Amino acid sequence: MTALQLAKSTSKQAGKELKRLFYSRQFTTQLKSKHEIVTTADKLAEKIIISGINEQFPDHAILAEESGRNKKKSDYLWIIDPLDGTTNFFMHNPLFSVSIGLAYKNEVVMGVVYIPILDELYYAEKGKGAFVDGKRIKVSKTSDIKDTFLTFCHGNKLTALNSAINFYGKLKKTARDFRQLGSAAIECAYVARGITDAIVIPGVKSWDVAAGTILVREAGGKVSDLKGKDWTIKSNDILATNGKIEKKLLNLIK
Ligand code: IPD
Ligand code: CA
Ligand code: CA
């Protein structure tokens, strides 16, 4: 089984459980920090994905949001967000996803984002293009900021929140619309598919976007930090765009 096949199958397995729990609401919630919750659904989904990887690729390293990094030394690192959009999930908002990325020597080479309620599977491998359910996807061609549909997220630290508050007004007034959808991974997938034109996140974690970045790059878009340097798994923030509006957005955001 290839890494992509495994990521597709475990994201669907985890997604099936998330969907069941979303409709039944049979999960409990804990506070991680002032603005951050975790549910028993996040933990179950993570367990399913990690046991799949350990079975097929026992030598690979894993970084997963809820259990952290395992102790293995490997050039391969799986970067997992088992439930991206936990607050949406809790609020019975169906926009949540499973995000699985694979980095080789610190470069993301494969990514899968699965949206259980829409049953949409986004995936990409380095040099092979990006797809949703078998169909090739491409970023949008929009080049005028006033015509753009933009989204944003922010990390939970006060600095990230303040940064988002600072650029919110400017982008809300300039773009066609500027919204917070609540799942960074989905918002990257939507840029890759050309549904939206860009996503910006101050205070990002690698598991939120590892899979999303390869979707955007393989769909012809650009992924940088907020200073315009190419995004890496060590970056603290991210701007993923269709490429045409990157410079203008970097200017508006700073
Ligand atoms: C969160 C979502 C959200 C973003 C937060 C993330 P989680 O992930 O991606 O859109 O604003 O920064 O932490 O906690 O639901 O996996
Ligand atoms: Ca996340
Ligand atoms: Ca999560």
d(CA 227, CA 172): 21
DSSP labels, 133-196: TTEEE-------GGG-EEEE---SSHHHHHHHHHHHHHHHHHSSEEE--S-HHHHHHHHHTTSS
Atom from ligand 1 closest to the CA of residue 187: 10
Structure tokens at 10: 């475990």
Atom from ligand 1 closest to the CA of residue 96: 15
DSSP symbol at 60: S
Measure 183 CA to ligand 1 centroid, in angstroms. 6
Residue nearest ligand 1's atom 12 by CA:
155
Sheet holding 149-152, edge to edge: 177-179, 149-152, 198-202, 237-241, 222-224
* DSSP helix/strand/coil, 220: coil
CATH architecture of the domain formed by 145-253: 3-Layer(aba) Sandwich (3.40)
CA 7 to chain CA mean position, Å: 14
Q: Consecutive sets of 10 residues in the chain, 254 residues long: mean pLDDT of each?
A: 98 98 98 93 98 97 96 95 98 98 98 98 98 98 98 95 96 97 98 98 98 98 98 98 98 92
Ligand 2 is an ion; residues with CB less than 5 A from it: 81, 84, 208
pLDDT of residue 254: 85
pLDDT of residue 149: 98
| Residues contacting ligand 1 via CB (< 6 Å) | 81, 84-87, 153-155, 182-184, 208
- Looking only at the bridges linking them, the beta strands covering 149-152 and 177-179 are parallel
pLDDT of residue 34: 87
Q: Are 104 and 209 in contact (CB under 8 A)?
A: no
pLDDT of residue 128: 98
Atom from ligand 1 closest to the CA of residue 36: 14
d(CA 166, CA 172): 11
**Structural domain boundaries in the chain:** 3-136, 145-253
Indicate which ligand has the atom closest to the C-alpha of 42: 3
DSSP symbol at 233: T
Fold entry, domain 3-136: Fructose-1,6-Bisphosphatase; Chain A, domain 1 (3.30.540)
Measure 156 CA to ligand 1 centroid, in angstroms. 8
Residue nearest ligand 1's atom 4 by CA:
153
